[in-house]
Chain A
Amino acid sequence: MADEPEPPVAQQTVEEPLDLIRLSLDERIYVKMRSDRELRGRLHAYDQHLNMIMGDVEETVTTVEIDEETYEEIYKSTKRNIPMLFVRGDGVILVSPPMRTGT
């Protein structure tokens, strides 16, 4: 059973995931990163590594403290604003349009 080479049908309507990020250029996006960080800002540029240039960014860093006596989990988040930011791609986990309700 030889593998027959498939004739190249012009069906390349499937874009790759990076093409879908291209649709978000100049739009506001949400980025989930390692180390419990999240970014919300405007995507100006990106590359195949997911290095990104983002403007007007709000970074949220979330930490969990455990109370030694009650063992309750205390979630704290710290935010800061950054006018223009270069994000190194290897820290990126997920990219999405900002949370919208409905649709």
Chain B
Amino acid sequence: EENTAYMPSPNIHSLSAPVLMSRKQTPSEFLKKIIGRPVVVKLNSGVDYRGVLACLDGYMNIALEQTEEYVNGQLKNKYGDAFIRGNNVLYISTTKRRG
């Protein structure tokens, strides 16, 4: 049984091992595991935000670093840090960061 020792790894850009989904885990366990990884956050409005997940809370409020905003697939904006209010979030997904 892996001991979930918390070890943020912000410098790892591509992870060969996907987040283990082979055993049951609660959403909150997933959320703890993906901290520090590049993620895609899709909002209810359809806008995409790609960045490194700094932290999040139970309301799905999200703090991202090195954020890029995509509207209709087009890069519209970049933010150094971005806080996203949780009620707007449709999903959070991990992604391999495109260089």
Contact = CB atoms under 8 A, between A and B. Distances in A.
A85 interface: no
A17 B56 contact: yes
A34 to B, nearest CB: 8
Contacts of A53: none
A92 B6 contact: no
B1 A17 contact: no
B85 A11 contact: no
Given A20-B83, A93-B84, A15 B55 contact: yes
Interface residues of A, number: 25
Contacts of B56: 16-17
A45 interface: no
B24 to A, nearest CB: 10
Please classify the interface of chain B as helix (H, G, I), strand (E, B), loop, or mixed, using the class held by over half of its residues.
Answer: strand
Given A6-B4, A18-B61, A96 B85 contact: no
Interface residues of B, number: 28
B81 A96 contact: yes
Interface of B: 1, 3-4, 6, 8, 35, 43, 45, 49, 54-57, 61-63, 67, 77-85, 87-88
Given A4-B1, A14-B6, 19 more contacts: A6-B3, A9-B6, A11-B6, A14-B55, A16-B61, A17-B54, A17-B61, A17-B62, A90-B87, A93-B43, A93-B85, A95-B83, A96-B67, A96-B83, A97-B79, A97-B81, A99-B77, A99-B79, A100-B80
8 contacts: A1-B1, A14-B55, A20-B81, A93-B45, A93-B88, A99-B78, A100-B80, A103-B80
